[in-house]
A = this chain, B = another copy of it.
Amino acid sequence: MRVKTLTLAAVLSLPLPALAQIDPAALRDAALKDEIAWDITEGLTTEIGPRLAGTEAEARARAWSVKKLAALGFSNVRNEPFRMKTWIRGEETLEVLAPFPQPLRLTALGNSGATPATGLRGEIVYFKDIAALHAVPDGSLRGKIAFVSHDMTRTQDGSQYGAFGAVRRSGPAVAARKGAAAILIRSVGTDYHRNPHAGGTGFPEGVTPIPAAALSIPDAEQLQRILKRGQPVSVKLTLTPRQVGMTESGNIIAEVPGSDPAAGLVVVACHLDSWDLGTGAFDDGAGCGIVTAAAKRVMDAGEPRRTIRILWAGAEEVGVFGGKAYFEAHKGEKHALAAESDFGADRIWRVDFKLPESARAVGDRVAAVLSPLGISRGRDPASGGADVAALVASGVAGIDLQQDGSRYFDLHHTPDDTLDKIDPSQLRQNVAAWTAMLAVVANAPEEIGATQ
């Protein structure tokens, strides 16, 4: 802990030959020609495809990942298995029966209950948002199918997801308490394609799950137009998902061993699982590609001071089971810093920090080396992505490399989350930013310890 008490000038005058060879700016610029992140993203999405948590597809993805990370030259590559409650999709259709018969497109939300195999018939009751649903008395929707809309809009920072995601996260439980036979929501998204947005929901203990599904946005607007014509609207909903009990998932871990175990681990994370409708390119194959390409580039530049640990978390989408398992298993180890890439593959535009006072200069150096990539320094405290949030919340330092989310919610959890959506040049800008950040952080002579 001696370094902590030294000034930066004094630190830089210490004899540290290994550090002298690593120039984060040069690594950053070289990474603008990166092919590794694309190769990983393409491989995972092509050779595995959809990777729903807890399924055999996610297990195939783990086997693929171990092989890939070992081939890239990382150390201590391993699968850390855990058990989880697994839900799988079934049939999913919606037919308007009256007054204007026609099919509409939807997808079941994770943990949705099932209708009878022959479908559930009911009348639609419209709510313009979740507040309107909350406002009706418990039990008042007996036998009805609630339909909840919202007005999420496109933002660069994805900030609407917190508020408007509530319709998906808690809307089904609210509708169940009101007595509804089922709930339909407008997809939490910003596109106009007939590809509904999946995503998890939950029912508290004591609330029996009801069938819950998201209409694509064109279909949600179609249903609104049908309702607006003023006649009662009856539908037949068929959803046959099921809970399959406890199955295995796992976290994939790989490392770049550092020279100074006492300096703490730098964890760079992404998640390996995806929703089942797309191939999980934007969410989050690219994230795994980005953090891994960066770690590989820093590794190839010479042994870093700190061990870099790559975490490809399992089962993020369905409840951050992998992130929780990692925290439980590893919280006793010294972590210097944690960061995750899990917001697509478009360019990074801002960097936020949560660093201890001892590492203030580390933040300054990271901000300086990122600036030429068009990345500004933000003032929000970093919180980490979902899989490292527990670490960061527990006091580990964090850096958030914020991606442009303008089109993230066009693709998020939809069938359209496929490789073709990734812009290789923006992907490379991500790799350059992560490489530079990691080169600075992994080699920083300063103490980067607990922030609280």
Residues of A within 8 A of B (CB): 42, 45-50, 57, 60, 96, 99-103, 105, 192-195, 217-218, 221-222, 225-226, 229, 278-279, 415-416, 418-421
Closest to A105 in B: B415
Cα–Cα, bound, A421→B418 (Å): 22
B103 and A50 contact, CB distance less than 8 A: yes
Cα–Cα, bound, A415→B100 (Å): 18
Cα–Cα, bound, A78→B49 (Å): 52
CB within 8 Å for A100 and B47 given contacts A192-B421, A415-B105, A418-B218: yes
B420 and A192 contact, CB distance less than 8 A: yes
Complex A-B: 16 CB contacts under 8 Å: A47-B99, A48-B102, A49-B96, A49-B101, A50-B103, A57-B102, A60-B101, A102-B279, A105-B415, A192-B420, A192-B421, A193-B195, A193-B416, A194-B278, A218-B419, A218-B420
Complex copy number for this chain: 2
In the A-B complex, list the 5 residue pairs whose CB atoms are closest, starting with the nearest: A49-B102, A194-B415, A218-B418, A46-B225, A47-B100
Cα–Cα, bound, A181→B48 (Å): 27
CB within 8 Å for A418 and B194 given contacts A222-B279, A279-B222: yes
B225 and A42 contact, CB distance less than 8 A: yes
B194 and A416 contact, CB distance less than 8 A: yes
Cα–Cα, bound, A415→B102 (Å): 13
Which residues of the partner chain B approach A421 to less than 8 Å between Cβ atoms? Answer: 192
Which residues of the partner chain B approach A415 to less than 8 Å between Cβ atoms? Answer: 105, 194
CB within 8 Å for A100 and B49 given contacts A42-B225, A416-B194: yes
Known pairs A48-B102, A49-B222, A194-B416 / 13 extra A-B pairs, C-beta < 8 Å: A46-B100, A46-B226, A46-B229, A49-B96, A57-B102, A60-B101, A193-B195, A194-B195, A194-B418, A218-B419, A221-B420, A222-B279, A225-B419
In this complex, which of A45, A102, A221, A225 has the most chain B Cβ atoms within 10 angstroms of its Cβ? A102
Cα–Cα, bound, A217→B421 (Å): 12
Cα–Cα, bound, A299→B279 (Å): 54
Closest to A60 in B: B101
- For the complex formed, measure the closest distance between the CB of A58 and the CB atoms of chain B, giving whole angstroms: 13
Cα–Cα, bound, A101→B47 (Å): 8
- For the complex formed, measure the closest distance between the CB of A280 and the CB atoms of chain B, giving whole angstroms: 11
In this complex, which of A42, A60, A222 has the most chain B Cβ atoms within 10 angstroms of its Cβ? A222
Cα–Cα, bound, A57→B96 (Å): 13
- For the complex formed, measure the closest distance between the CB of A352 and the CB atoms of chain B, giving whole angstroms: 32
Which residues of the partner chain B approach A96 to less than 8 Å between Cβ atoms? Answer: 49
Closest to A191 in B: B193
Which residues of the partner chain B approach A418 to less than 8 Å between Cβ atoms? Answer: 192, 194, 218, 222
Closest to A421 in B: B192
Partner of A229, one of B47, B99, B226: B47
Which residues of the partner chain B approach A195 to less than 8 Å between Cβ atoms? Answer: 193-195
Which residues of the partner chain B approach A193 to less than 8 Å between Cβ atoms? Answer: 193, 195, 416
Closest to A414 in B: B194
Which residues of the partner chain B approach A229 to less than 8 Å between Cβ atoms? Answer: 46-47
In this complex, which of A194, A226, A278 has the most chain B Cβ atoms within 10 angstroms of its Cβ? A194
Closest to A217 in B: B420
B222 and A419 contact, CB distance less than 8 A: yes
Cα–Cα, bound, A102→B281 (Å): 15
- For the complex formed, measure the closest distance between the CB of A215 and the CB atoms of chain B, giving whole angstroms: 12
Cα–Cα, bound, A42→B226 (Å): 10
CB within 8 Å for A222 and B46 given contacts A105-B415, A415-B105: yes
Which residues of the partner chain B approach A105 to less than 8 Å between Cβ atoms? Answer: 415
Which residues of the partner chain B approach A50 to less than 8 Å between Cβ atoms? Answer: 102-103
Cα–Cα, bound, A419→B96 (Å): 17
- For the complex formed, measure the closest distance between the CB of A416 and the CB atoms of chain B, giving whole angstroms: 6
B46 and A416 contact, CB distance less than 8 A: no
Cα–Cα, bound, A252→B193 (Å): 31
- For the complex formed, measure the closest distance between the CB of A311 and the CB atoms of chain B, giving whole angstroms: 25
Cα–Cα, bound, A103→B57 (Å): 11
- For the complex formed, measure the closest distance between the CB of A50 and the CB atoms of chain B, giving whole angstroms: 6
Which residues of the partner chain B approach A48 to less than 8 Å between Cβ atoms? Answer: 100, 102
- For the complex formed, measure the closest distance between the CB of A279 and the CB atoms of chain B, giving whole angstroms: 7
- For the complex formed, measure the closest distance between the CB of A418 and the CB atoms of chain B, giving whole angstroms: 4
